[in-house]
A and B are shown apart, each in its own frame.
Chain A
Amino acid sequence: MQVTSSVREPLVTGGKTVHDVTEDICRQVEGKPSKSWMLGMAVSLVALLIGAYAVFMLVWEGIGVWGLNKTIGWAWDITNFVWWVGIGHAGTLISAILLLFRQKWRMSINRAAEAMTIFAVICAACFPGLHMGRLWLGFYWALPLPNTFGSLWVNFNSPLLWDVFAISTYFTVSLVFWYIGLIPDFASIRDRATNKISKMVYGTLSFGWDGAAKTWGRYEFVALILAGLATPLVLSVHTIVSFDFATSVIPGWHSTIFPPYFVAGAIFSGFAMVLTLLLIARKLLKLEDYITREHVELMNIIIIVTGGVVAIAYATEFFIGWYTGVEYENYTYMSYGAATGPYAWAFWALIICNIIIPGTLWFKQVRTNFITSFIISIVINIGMWFERFDIIVMCLSRDYLPSSWSMFYPTIYDVGVYVFTLGLFFTLFLLFSKFFPVINMAEVKSIIKSSSSKKN
């Protein structure tokens, strides 16, 4: 028997029954797409098409069309890569780490968050691919394949190669984890389907699921072990992304705190993106009883905690930069020189968006309000973009040789490729929200008895 303390807030409101859960979630999949969905899809497709032009030009002309120069060899491309990978962390965090910690509130949000993870990782993967210039040779550079360039193997000492393994493993395992969770829900849709196409499609997708207790028993173990594997995996992915910078000897990049600090930052931005998406979804898909004020507050609390960790990391970076006594440290992204130099605007954008504005979440009124939560979640995403921009561009712009100091100015192709990934992300997410159950029905059903508010 499950016992839930009366101190805890209900996780499902509106006195829903188990059957109501099936009805509410399947309605979206079975009905016609709404007007707002069509509108969103149109906007996303336009962004995707405009971006596709930028991508085409990039591949055709080479990465010279970007605003990179001899000093700043990485800029928007890797900024966007890290930003997307970071966003892609929340899904696995919610489904794996919160599963291990038995946080039941994750059940309403994990499906959408995992979908977000997968799409964000796809967007992220575009950038390392594209920034290689000759995309079609990428496989030889990134994978240990026998080739005709001399029998040179890939360099396993390179963090960039570790990235290839980390991102592809992360993508695969997240996809598998997500799909395993979807199987029982696909079976629910299959058994309700009225037309032939739905029956066939969801019948195929549900892998012949019948809900037998034996299978459920195994299934729960699989989920638990996948969570146990995905937890260090999710940590390792952003750790390895941070190694891209931290193994080097560029001032500001070479910092031992980078691995856990990047992970905390990733969760911070990932949760912000989950909040952005779910606050829209709960309105458009009428999920108010499943994604409640309590959920929003708990997500905001995670944002406070990870934001706090990030703030401590900033303070540490600032302090140790001074503590080393190395003069070059005064030009890193987190230093007095940064706060007053030519990129001061980017520095302050970071501080304001990542520390000051999210700081208001300490007030209960702010973190339980849907509108302020929505605004702050977008601000954090902007702030986390600036964090990566600052780390990459500011640290490169002023390192050891003052004669090489430079600034970075983006071209329309820098912007265009970013727009491409944004379009891709929202297109995929909208497709998901139409054709897949956006809430994990099976899991939510399991807590209806213990955590649903009673009908009066």
Chain B
Amino acid sequence: MESNKHFVLGIYDDEDVLLSAVRKVKESGVKIHEVYTPFPVHGLDEELGYKRTRLPIVAFLFGLLGTTLALTMQIWMLGYDWPMIIGGKNFASLPPFIPVTFELTVLLSALGMVGTFMITSNLKPYGKPRLMDKRCTDDKHVMAIDLAKNDLSQEDIRSIIGNSGAQEVNLKDF
């Protein structure tokens, strides 16, 4: 079978070794495709140079939408469309509207953010992951290097990874 993507994989079993390996490999001028880990490794995304996610902004905007919707709905329904005096209060009195407003703010904020996360991270039912090494959901950290995106030869990359503390160095084709 003709494969068109070739990855060199470094397998690590310790998160601190992995972090220093990422630094070493980057210093040797090798571009890292991605690192796959069984659990979140603190500081790894910074080491890889990933920008901080803007999901908090998404959450805030969806929350704002929820607040607006909730207030509009309540004020329109009870204040204008079918006004009624309840408990001697004004038609549209703010304090009793706060609970529902709060709930809808949280609901939209949470769903909007999670939805955005799912879409941007390509997480969906029946999603078929391209697994570099099955052990990356068990106990091994896998560093993947795309040969096509690096000028160095496969041999050089293998030796750089081997010297960075990797337990194994493998090749994976897709």
Chain A window 318-334, contacts with chain B (Cβ cutoff 8 Å), 1 for yes, 0 for no: 00000000000000000
Cβ-defined contact, A216 with B78, below 8 A: no
Chain A window 213-238, contacts with chain B (Cβ cutoff 8 Å), 1 for yes, 0 for no: 11111111110011001101100100
Determine whether A31 belongs to the interface, using a CB cutoff of 8 Å to chain B. Answer: no
Q: Complex: how many Å from CA A232 to CA B96?
A: 18
Q: Complex: how many Å from CA A264 to CA B123?
A: 37
Q: Complex: how many Å from CA A265 to CA B139?
A: 40
Cβ-defined contact, A218 with B121, below 8 A: yes
Cβ-defined contact, B99 with A165, below 8 A: yes
Q: Complex: how many Å from CA A24 to CA B82?
A: 60
Q: Complex: how many Å from CA A162 to CA B70?
A: 12
Given A162-B99, A208-B128, A215-B121, also A157-B34 (CB < 8 A): no
Instruction: Across the interface, name the chain B residue whose C-beta is closest to A211.
Output: B36
Cβ-defined contact, A156 with B77, below 8 A: yes
Q: Could you tell me the distance in whole angstroms from the C-beta of A281 to the nearest C-beta in chain B?
A: 22
Cβ-defined contact, B38 with A207, below 8 A: no
Q: Could you tell me the distance in whole angstroms from the C-beta of A18 to the nearest C-beta in chain B?
A: 4
Determine whether A445 belongs to the interface, using a CB cutoff of 8 Å to chain B. Answer: yes
Q: Which of B1-9, B50-58, B146-154 is near enough to bind chain A? A: B50-58
Q: Could you tell me the distance in whole angstroms from the C-beta of A273 to the nearest C-beta in chain B?
A: 24
Cβ-defined contact, A240 with B99, below 8 A: yes
Cβ-defined contact, A219 with B110, below 8 A: no
Given A191-B131, A442-B39, also A217-B53 (CB < 8 A): yes
Given A192-B138, A218-B117, also A156-B55 (CB < 8 A): no
Q: Which label, helix, strand, loop or mixed, suits the secondary structure of the A interface? A: helix
Q: Complex: how many Å from CA A293 to CA B81?
A: 59
Q: Which of A172, A215, A216, A221 contacts B56 (CB 8 A)?
A: A221
Which chain B residues lie closer than 8 Å to A191 at the CB level? Answer: 131, 134-135, 137-138
Determine whether A194 belongs to the interface, using a CB cutoff of 8 Å to chain B. Answer: no
Q: Which of A208, A216, A229 contacts B41 (CB 8 A)?
A: A216
Q: Which of B37, B44, B55, B110 contacts A218 (CB 8 A)?
A: B55
Q: Which of B15, B16, B40, B111 contacts A219 (CB 8 A)?
A: B40
Q: Which of A429-456 contact B (CB under 8 A)?
A: 442-443, 445-446, 449
Cβ-defined contact, A187 with B137, below 8 A: yes
Chain A window 171-207, contacts with chain B (Cβ cutoff 8 Å), 1 for yes, 0 for no: 0110011001001100110111000000000011111
Determine whether B11 belongs to the interface, using a CB cutoff of 8 Å to chain A. Answer: no
Cβ-defined contact, B100 with A183, below 8 A: no
Q: Which of B23-31, B101-109, B163-171 is near enough to bind chain A? A: B101-109
Instruction: Across the interface, name the chain B residue whose C-beta is closest to A18.
Output: B139
Cβ-defined contact, A221 with B124, below 8 A: no
Cβ-defined contact, A226 with B50, below 8 A: no
Q: A203-B126, A226-B113 are in contact. List 8 more A-B contacts (CB 8 A).
A: A17-B139, A153-B81, A191-B131, A204-B126, A209-B127, A213-B44, A214-B50, A442-B38
Q: Complex: how many Å from CA A123 to CA B131?
A: 40
Instruction: Across the interface, name the chain B residue whose C-beta is closest to A166.
Output: B103
The residue in A144, A216, A236 that gathers the most chain B C-beta atoms within 10 A of its C-beta is: A216
Cβ-defined contact, B110 with A207, below 8 A: no
Q: Which of B89, B127, B136 contacts A157 (CB 8 A)?
A: B89
